[in-house]
Amino acid sequence: VKPKVEAPKPANDQTCTIGQDTQISWKFSGIEKPHVTWFFNGQPLETNERFQITETEDGTSTLSIKNAELTDKGVYTAKATNAVGETEAKTTLNIAGIKPVITTDLDATLQATKGESMTIKLSATGIPKPDIVWSRGNDELAPNDRIQVTPPTAEGDNSYTLTILNVQPEDQGDYSAKITNVGGSAKSKKCKVAVIKSPEFLAKPTTQEVQQGETAVFETKVDGYPIPKVIWLLNGKPLTPKDGAQIEMNAPTGDAKLTIPKVDLQQHAGSVTCRLENVHGSQEETVHLNVLAAPLITTQLPKQEETVSGKDVTFRVVVRGSPRPAAEWFFNDTPVAPENVLFDEEKSEYQLLLKEPTVASSEGTYRVVFKNGLGETESAPCVLTILEPVKLTKIAPTTDLVDLKVGEPFEFSVDVDGKEAPKVQLTKDGKEVKFTSVEGIRHVYSVAEVKPEHQGVYKVTAKNKTSAEETNVTLHVTAPLNITQSLTEQNVLLGQNGTLQITCDAFPVPKVTWFFNDTELKNSPKHKAEVKQNVFSLTVSKCDHPDTGIYRVLVDNGIDHTEQTAKFNVGVKPKVEAPKPANDQTCTIGQDTQISWKFSGIEKPHVTWFF
């Protein structure tokens, strides 16, 4: 019996996922039992480790395929043959893939540095391994010398990388990728790439040496993105066309130029700075503009200089000139030794240091001469004056405290020296007084006979620009007690006021204490002690008989003392005890007679008769 396919149709379709195992089976019948041969796309199929053919007793022939691959896709034919005939069955095998999945997407943004390499990457899975197409905007990127596309290279590696060498501004944009395999495709997110670069000098400016009046040119080549702003500065101050500077910038090439026509030593010599700025940073380079010129003094010596004896002094002159001028200093037209000559390069300042100057060795006229190959110049002369501090010497008295008696002589004398000449002032108790005489450095104040008003603190103050000195003498004046009017007995009518007084010259002014019958008297309505100049008095108000007695006064000025007493009487005026203090009386001649009058009074009146 001819072979026969035991199936409704001798052809079918079958699908297998890539990488998986699959089987194709057909059952044949016939007498004798058919021999089955397999074909792939019309060609005999050879068995191996991946392709195995098995048969069962019931006539079923099975083709087993391990780890299906895309190349396994096609038409598989099983042909059954026996002695009387043949037949065949066909299976069309389709290989299905796993759709790509992006596991690590692109970053949303990326900053790339101009001139350097830029890399963006993503990770994706899929079977078979997907292919990738990179795009910038709507344009697909084709690999070239600058654009490198790297797919996964090892088992388990799912990374896809885009590398762009020597990044340029035109590389900015939105980057994306499309991943594709037989299972489908996937699109990445967009990565916005911004190209940046901090300013950089590709060719730095160089120091220029130009003669006075010629043109100086500084050139540089710069890079950066955005294109940096180029700022030129002269000695720290920005240069503009208003300053006469010509500034050029070629943005496409990065060439920048500064031109300074008619350079001037004083105006243009110094540091020239080229500063680059953009939003990502800044950079600067500083060079110098050396203007070749004869020496030019920009800061002269002062006409006069003063210093204190022994205090170091420095002369300073600022000079412009190129090459740097040599300096020679002179003192009273004699060259100065070079060991104390200094130069401050930053300030272009020439200095002469005088250490511990004195009038004898250093006072005089100084000047300096500057020379270079283009000329020479000389400073103005400077007259140095050496000041000396005040020297104040007290000649008399030899002590700071003097005690004199009224009428004795007093002298306060000092010697005052210094340079400049000191201003000398004499004060007594803070008020200025005049010296009696001034001869040279000797200042004298004298009093032939001191009086109490001469007592006080005498101070001499001497000042000049460098220092101030002072010296003091305290004068104490004393006078012994001199009673010019003594205490005398006083008789006072009853009910009237009575006064006791004494006149005393003394210095210091004495203290006076009054006593009545040896009892000290204090000021009261009854007793009042007063002092008027040198007159000391005690007044007894409304005298009464108990006020009668002995009064004593004690005079003491701390140096001398004395006391005096006087009797104080309180009485009543004599009174005629008769109706009339006059009468007529007759006596016969030759006879005796008497005239009598009676008097009363306190104390008892003393009666004296007159004819």
Predicted confidence (pLDDT) per residue in 384-419, tens digit: 999 999 999 999 999 999 999 989 999 999 999 998
- Residues 152 and 224 reside in one and the same domain: no
* 430 lies in the same domain as 467: yes
DSSP 55-98: E-TTSEEEEEESS--GGG-EEEEEEEEETTEEEEEEEEEEEEPE
Over the stretch 285-313, which tens digit does the pLDDT of each residue have?
A: 999 999 899 898 999 999 999 998 899 99
The whole-number pLDDT of residue 352 equals 95
pLDDT of amino acid 273: 96
Domain contains 521 = no
Judged against a pLDDT cut of 90, whether residue 156 lies above it is answered with no
Instruction: Check whether 505 has a pLDDT greater than 90.
Output: no
Q: Which stretches of 244-400 are assigned E, i.e. beta strand?
A: 246-250, 255-260, 270-278, 281-299, 304-308, 313-322, 326-331, 334-335, 341-344, 349-354, 364-372, 375-378, 382-396
pLDDT level of residue 109 (50, 70, 90 thresholds): very high
- Residue 504 CB burial class (10 angstroms; 0-12, 13-18, ≥19): buried
Write out pLDDT tens, residues 570-611. Answer: 988 888 888 999 988 999 999 999 999 988 888 888 899 999
Same domain, 133 and 187: yes
pLDDT at 265: 84
Q: Is residue 499 part of a domain?
A: no
393 and 454 in one domain? yes
pLDDT band, very low/low/confident/very high, at 93 (cuts 50, 70, 90): very high
pLDDT given at position 465: 87
107, 114, 110: which is closest to 278 by C-alpha?
A: 114
On whether both 373 and 392 belong to a single domain, the answer is: no
Could you say which of 271, 292, 313 is where a domain stops?
Answer: 292
Q: Is the pLDDT of residue 322 over 90?
A: no
Query: What pLDDT does 473 receive?
Result: 96
| Claim to verify: residue 145 and residue 163 sit in the same structural domain | yes
The mean pLDDT of 198-219, rounded to a whole number, is 94
pLDDT tens, 439-471? 999 999 999 999 989 999 999 999 998 899 999
Determine, yes or no, domain membership for 313: yes
- Is the pLDDT assigned to residue 176 strictly greater than 90? yes
Structural domain ending residue among the three candidates 380, 398, 415: 380
Q: At residue 170, what are phi and psi to the nearest 5 degrees?
A: -70, -10
Asked if residue 273 is part of any domain, the answer here is: yes
Q: What local confidence, expressed as pLDDT, does residue 17 receive?
A: 87
Task: Among 196, 218, 253, give the residue marking a domain's end.
Answer: 196
pLDDT score recorded for residue 349: 94
- Residue among 428, 424, 427, 420 at smallest CA distance from 393: 424
Domain presence at residue 122: yes
- Are residues 104 and 192 located together in one domain of the fold? yes
Q: Are both 467 and 442 inside the same structural domain?
A: yes
Task: Assess if residue 347 is contained within a domain.
Answer: yes
Q: What pLDDT is recorded for position 511?
A: 92
Q: How far apart are CA 399 and CA 410, in angstroms?
A: 13
Number of domains in the chain: 5
Q: Is 589 exposed, middle or buried (0-12, 13-18, 19+ CB in 10 A)?
A: exposed
479 - beta bridge partners? 507
Same domain, 109 and 80: no
Residues 117 and 156 in one domain: yes
pLDDT tens-digit readout, 532-553:
989 999 999 999 989 999 999 9
What residues make up the domain containing 261? 204-292
Task: Label residue 154 by pLDDT band (50, 70, 90).
Answer: confident
Q: What is the DSSP-derived secondary structure letter of residue 244? A: T
Residue 266 host element (H or E): helix 265-268
**Average pLDDT of span 317-344:** 92
**pTM reported for the whole predicted model:** 0.45
pLDDT at 95 over 90: no
What pLDDT does residue 166 have?
A: 94
**CATH no. for residue 29?**
2.60.40.10
Q: Are residues 44 and 102 in the same domain?
A: no
> Does residue 165 share a domain with residue 112?
yes
Residue 69 lies in a domain: yes
Q: Is the pLDDT of residue 558 over 90?
A: no
Question: What integer pLDDT is reported at residue 238 of this predicted model?
Answer: 93
463 in any annotated domain: yes
Token pair 């009575």 in the structure block, residue: 498
